[in-house]
């Protein structure tokens, strides 16, 4: 008998590809999951302007493949499979209301936003057409020390660490006036799970309800290392986008009311957490450079 506490028996990785409907279908029917979280995406907004077709293949058509696999597996086995769709605040784009809530009209401003909006509506359509327990989390920017280094918060905190250790001189950014509602990924993932524990599926805005600019985030991150961002940050037009989302501010009151969700980490704590991690990383980089 296998020990259920052994991670090897609880956690398996299955190879798959979002472009391959047959493999998605066979994985879903083979493991017969209780819950499916569709986080698969080409998730970089700027890159979606350079790779619009690929972004749509993964972020839009990929969702159709997973949803259909869930529907077929559920019909075949009779077992309910709960489905989570990673919708995005990017769907609000040119915002029609401040703050945005679940009923705010969408106006995406990038191929990424358009693809996410397709998946958002398709998920709702599967819920309405086939009674699938499918929920969409409209998540605002969620960050952590694990964030990819080309997203602005991590790009900034990586630079802070490297500048502090003397292995980088400048940080080049695009639009520093963009405003975002930044939260901690750990808090937001908890909200994803809570959504699927509800009796009824629905769509929820997950945000902190506070908006700061890229400039503000720079200020917080550099000062956490005792530096003044104005001495190091320069603007490079390469990082501007063909169409920008100027501001995003979410109203998470539905999630709070329905399942008591509240973010625990403030943007100041988040910046500090990321800077501490990246100071340590840069220290190790520097030590390695000094050795070799």
Q: Which residues are catalytic?
A: 88, 90, 112
Site residues (CB under 6 A) for ligand GDD, limited to 158-197: 173-175, 178, 180
CB nearer to ligand GDD: give 56 or 81. Answer: 56
Per-residue string for binding with ligand GDD, 248-277, x by CB under 6 A?
x-----------------------------
232 binds ligand GDD (CB under 6 A): no
The 92-111 site mask, x for binding ligand GDD (CB under 6 A), equals --------------------
Residue of 60, 117, 152, 195 interacting with ligand GDD (CB under 6 A): 152
Site for ligand GDD contains 211 (CB under 6 A): no
Q: Report if residue 140 touches ligand GDD, rule: CB under 6 A.
A: yes
Rounded CA gap, 26 and 161, in Å?
A: 44
Task: Find the residue with minimal CB distance to ligand GDD.
Answer: 178
For ligand GDD, which stretch binds (CB under 6 A), given 18-26, 38-46, 255-263, 282-290? 38-46
The reply on whether position 129 binds ligand GDD by CB under 6 A is: no
Q: Which residues bind ligand GDD (CB under 6 A)?
A: 43, 45-46, 88-90, 140-141, 150-152, 155, 173-175, 178, 180, 214, 239, 241, 244-245, 248
């Amino acid at each position: 008998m296998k020990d259920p506490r052994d991670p090897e028996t609880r956690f398996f990785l299955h190879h798959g590809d979002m472009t391959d409907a047959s493999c998605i279908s066979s994985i879903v029917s083979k493991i017969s999951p209780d819950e499916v979280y569709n986080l698969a995406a080409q998730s970089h907004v700027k890159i979606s302007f350079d790779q619009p077709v690929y972004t749509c293949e993964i972020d839009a058509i990929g969702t159709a493949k997973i949803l259909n696999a869930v529907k077929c597996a559920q019909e075949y086995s009779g077992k309910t499979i709960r489905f989570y769709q990673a919708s995005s605040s990017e769907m609000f784009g040119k915002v029609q209301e401040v703050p945005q809530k679940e009923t705010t009209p969408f106006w995406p401003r990038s191929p990424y936003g358009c693809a996410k909006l397709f998946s958002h509506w398709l998920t709702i359509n599967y819920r309405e057409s086939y009674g699938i327990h499918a929920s969409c989390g409209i998540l605002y920017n969620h960050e952590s020390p694990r964030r990819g280094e080309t997203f602005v918060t991590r790009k900034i905190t990586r630079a802070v660490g490297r500048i502090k250790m003397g292995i980088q001189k400048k940080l080049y950014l695009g639009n520093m006036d963009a405003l975002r509602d930044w939260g901690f990924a750990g808090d937001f993932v908890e909200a994803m799970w809570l959504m699927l524990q509800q009796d009824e599926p629905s769509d929820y805005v997950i945000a902190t309800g506070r908006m700061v600019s890229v400039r503000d985030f720079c200020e917080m991150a550099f000062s956490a290392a005792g530096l003044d961002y104005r001495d190091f940050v320069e603007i490079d037009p390469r990082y501007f986008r063909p169409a920008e989302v100027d501001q995003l501010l979410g109203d998470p009151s539905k999630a709070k009311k329905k399942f008591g969700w509240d973010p625990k980490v403030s943007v100041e704590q988040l910046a500090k957490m990321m800077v501490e991690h990246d100071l340590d990383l840069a220290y190790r980089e520097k030590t390695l450079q000094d050795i070799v």
